């Protein structure tokens, strides 16, 4: 009896192991996974596609990558999509979504080679992504080369193409605000540099504050003389505010330039991503 039970349990365990190695085709579960994602049941989708019973295949790799992408697990999604071979029907989606994911993760260079080698039907989308990556890398020459594929006629791609052109013009053909000019303006009129940096409220409040401490200093100077501590303390305070304001104006313009660049990069990332759903139906 004991031997019979042991054999029964061992056979069950062997079957379990064989099952776990992956003997099941993904088949219609691909559509089921898609249904789960579309209905915002992404954790259920993850549970489904990571079932070890499925046999390894391109479609399984893609759907796993797609689920991880939907769950914002970008590094994992990138790794999975990169494994899909060029011969696979899922390759274009994996390539373009993989590029967008890489760009979001701050890797603007490594997808370029794979994109350049791509010779499939989505040539204009390839150009848009290469142009976006060039802007992110701050490479105007590469942008001009990629932008030659822009036709401005595809409804899904014309928006990103125009946006990229505008960013290119703003970044490389327009004059940028100078931090030194802001500092000089604030040295002449406290707060003026901040107004130049676009921070009007801060500029006016700086002017009022420095004016107020200056007035307090002047009052004590007139009544107590320059050498009295009641004059020296507000004088030092006013001087510190004045110098701080000059430095602050310099920094405000530097931050403004950096914020502008970040906003442009965010717009590029958005436009690298947004057309994918429409183009790669």
> Applying CB under 8 A, which residues contact another protein?
2, 5-6, 9-10, 12-13, 16, 32, 35-36, 41, 43-44, 47-48, 51, 209, 212-213, 215-216, 218-220, 223, 234
Task: Give the residue among 177, 180, 181, 205 at the shortest CA–CA distance from 191.
Answer: 205
SS3 for 53? Answer: coil
Rank residues 10 and 123 by Cβ distance to another protein and give the closer one: 10
Six-digit token string for 196:
């130049």
What is the nearest approach in angstroms of another protein to the Cβ of residue 186? 20
* CA dist list (Å): 266 to 12, 75, 105, 129, 132: 54, 19, 12, 14, 11
Rank residues 127 and 203 by Cβ distance to another protein and give the closer one: 203
Place of tokens 């107590």: 224
Rank residues 177 and 230 by Cβ distance to another protein and give the closer one: 230
Rank residues 127 and 191 by Cβ distance to another protein and give the closer one: 191
What is the nearest approach in angstroms of another protein to the Cβ of residue 246? 21
Q: Across the strands, what pairs with 24?
A: 54
Written as one string, the DSSP assignment of 159-170 is HHHHHHHHHHHH
Rank residues 23 and 266 by Cβ distance to another protein and give the closer one: 23
Rank residues 54 and 91 by Cβ distance to another protein and give the closer one: 54
Six-digit token string for 146:
């990629």
What is the nearest approach in angstroms of another protein to the Cβ of residue 120? 32
Total H helices, total E strands in the chain? 15, 0
What is the nearest approach in angstroms of another protein to the Cβ of residue 203? 17
Rank residues 68 and 163 by Cβ distance to another protein and give the closer one: 68
Specify whether the CB–CB gap between 264 and 136 falls below 8 A: no
Rank residues 41 and 255 by Cβ distance to another protein and give the closer one: 41
Q: DSSP code of 177? A: P
What is the nearest approach in angstroms of another protein to the Cβ of residue 216? 5
How many residues in the chain? 281
Q: At what angle do helices 110-117 and 123-137 cross, to 10 degrees?
A: 160
Question: How buried is 253 (Cβ within 10 angstroms: 0-12 exposed, 13-18 middle, 19+ buried)?
Answer: buried
What is the nearest approach in angstroms of another protein to the Cβ of residue 230? 8
What is the nearest approach in angstroms of another protein to the Cβ of residue 78? 25
Task: Count the neighbouring beta carbons within 10 Å of the beta carbon of residue 151.
Answer: 11
Specify whether the CB–CB gap between 152 and 162 falls below 8 A: yes
What is the nearest approach in angstroms of another protein to the Cβ of residue 215? 5
């Amino acid at each position: 009896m004991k031997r019979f039970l042991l054999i029964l349990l061992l056979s069950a365990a062997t079957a379990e192991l064989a099952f776990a190695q992956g003997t099941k085709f993904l088949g219609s579960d691909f559509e089921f996974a898609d249904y789960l994602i579309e209905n915002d049941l992404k954790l259920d989708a993850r549970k489904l596609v990571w079932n070890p019973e499925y046999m390894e295949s391109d479609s399984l790799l893609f759907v796993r990558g797609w689920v991880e992408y939907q769950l914002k697990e970008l590094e994992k999604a990138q790794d999975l999509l990169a494994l899909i071979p060029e011969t696979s029907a899922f390759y274009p989606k994996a390539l373009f979504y993989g590029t967008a994911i890489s760009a979001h993760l701050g890797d603007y260079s490594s997808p370029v080679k794979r994109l350049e080698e791509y010779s499939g039907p989505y040539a204009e989308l390839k150009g848009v992504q290469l142009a976006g990556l060039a802007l992110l890398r701050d490479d105007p020459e590469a942008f001009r080369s990629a932008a030659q594929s822009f036709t401005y006629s595809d409804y899904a791609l014309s928006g990103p193409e125009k946006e990229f052109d505008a960013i290119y013009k703003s970044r490389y053909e327009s004059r940028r605000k100078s931090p030194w000019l802001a500092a000089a303006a604030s040295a002449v009129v406290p707060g003026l540099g901040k107004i130049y940096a676009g921070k009007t409220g801060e500029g006016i409040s700086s002017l009022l504050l420095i004016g107020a401490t200056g007035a307090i200093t002047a009052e004590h100077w007139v009544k107590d003389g320059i050498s009295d501590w009641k004059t020296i303390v507000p004088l030092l305070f006013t001087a510190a505010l004045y110098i701080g304001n000059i430095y602050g104006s310099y920094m405000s313009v530097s931050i403004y330039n950096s914020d502008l660049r970040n906003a442009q990069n965010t717009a590029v990332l958005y436009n690298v991503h947004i057309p994918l759903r429409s183009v790669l139906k």
